[in-house]
Amino acid sequence: MEEKKYKYQKQIDELLEAGCKLPTLYPPNGMEACRFAFSDANHQNHVPQYMTNPKRMLQDVAKGKATTSLLSLSCFTTSEKAETFYSNLRKAFRNISVSVGDSLSEGKLSNDDGVKTVSGENGHFDFYEYEGCDLNNTFQITQKLM
């Protein structure tokens, strides 16, 4: 069986060459998940931080602070855990809606979409997309957070 390629394989390979390591990853097995998104239709949703700001990856590599996590999508196991996390972010960062989104989107993650890290106590996990995955097709905005 052919090994699947990650959506951002080139960038992941660059980080691996720079000494970063991928975390242990698991199939999502059709789990429900949610993540922050922008309600504005003109805004691109479901894009990893390093892809929205490629210069940051170069800077992080130069500083020895690079991590493959910023090429994954931040997800949560439940909307309640995502809302709590967002509420805490809002207390620390006034303009959080501009950087991570103003809404919650929810959908199912299939094994053809990618692989995930273990979920933390706060429900957060990283999702590494496979080539061809587009969560815009499977995730829907379910509520405004702002």
Decide if 48 is inside a domain.
yes
8-18 burial, b for 16+ CB within 10 Å, e for fewer? beebbebbeee
Q: Is the pLDDT of residue 1 over 60?
A: no
Across the chain, what does the average pLDDT equal? 92
Decide if 2 is inside a domain.
no
The 10s digit of each residue's pLDDT in 125-145 is 999 999 999 999 999 999 999
The 10s digit of each residue's pLDDT in 4-37 is 999 999 999 999 998 899 999 999 999 999 999 9
Give the side-chain half-sphere CA count within 13 A for 15: 24
Decide if 1 is inside a domain.
no
Decide if 111 is inside a domain.
yes
Decide if 35 is inside a domain.
yes
Dist CA 50 CA 60 (whole Å)? 10
Q: What is the pLDDT of residue 56?
A: 82
Q: Domain count of the chain? A: 1
Decide if 3 is inside a domain.
no
pTM: 0.93
Decide if 4 is inside a domain.
no
What range defines the domain where residue 91 resides?
A: 9-144
The 10s digit of each residue's pLDDT in 31-57 is 999 999 999 878 889 999 889 888 888
Decide if 117 is inside a domain.
yes
